[in-house]
């Protein structure tokens, strides 16, 4: 009887551990996924970035902005492996935006490269949303 109770406890514990490991990265059936971001901007520290993710195709990065506080917009551009891969394409992101960001991440850094979006705003505020490296 104790073995059954112990195995039930272990199975329940592992199930809870698995549920707690679920993050805000949402995978879809075609392998694309979305990564949530929360960027903070300050006049004395205007830069922030999204979390990085692997990029596999030569598609655009996509950035959605669901809400902002204290600012009306910010500037965003594509990065990969620590390099600017935007090829001089910079974008103004506003609340409600769903913008494709041109990039040369795969072409310059190869498939599976570490990709992210750099963002700047000289102001005091924050922005929330999600981004997709491949869509």
Which string of DSSP letters, residue by residue, matches 69-112?
Answer: ES-SEEEEEEEETTEE-STT--EEEETT-EEEEP--HHHHH-TT
Query: Residue 6 — left, alpha, or beta (φ > 0 → left; ψ -120 to 50 → alpha)?
Result: alpha
10 found inside a domain: no
4 found inside a domain: no
1 found inside a domain: no
Which residue range(s) make up the domain with 42? 25-132
pTM: 0.77
100 found inside a domain: yes
Q: Check residue 32 and give its pLDDT.
A: 73
Q: What is the pLDDT of residues 35-69, one digit of tens each?
A: 999 999 999 999 999 999 999 999 999 999 999 99
Tokens in use for 27? 């995978």
5 found inside a domain: no
Which CATH number characterizes residue 95's domain? 2.60.120
Domain count, the chain: 1
Which of the residues in the chain have pLDDT under 50?
Answer: 10-11, 13-30
68 found inside a domain: yes
3 found inside a domain: no
70 found inside a domain: yes
Q: Check residue 7 and give its pLDDT.
A: 58
Q: Check residue 95 and give its pLDDT.
A: 98
């Amino acid at each position: 009887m104790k073995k059954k109770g112990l195995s039930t406890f272990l199975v329940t514990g592992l199930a809870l551990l698995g549920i707690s490991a679920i993050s805000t990265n949402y995978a879809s059936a075609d392998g694309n996924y979305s990564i949530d971001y929360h960027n903070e901007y300050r006049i004395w520290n205007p830069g922030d970035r999204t979390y990085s993710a692997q990029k596999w195709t030569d598609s655009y990065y996509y950035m959605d902005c669901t809400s902002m506080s204290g600012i009306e917009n910010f500037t965003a551009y594509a990065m990969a492996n620590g390099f600017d891969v935007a090829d001089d394409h910079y974008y103004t992101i506003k609340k409600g935006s769903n913008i494709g960001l041109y990039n040369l991440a795969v072409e310059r850094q190869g498939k599976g490269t570490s990709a992210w979006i750099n963002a700047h705003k000289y102001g005091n505020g924050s922005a929330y949303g999600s981004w997709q490296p491949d869509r």
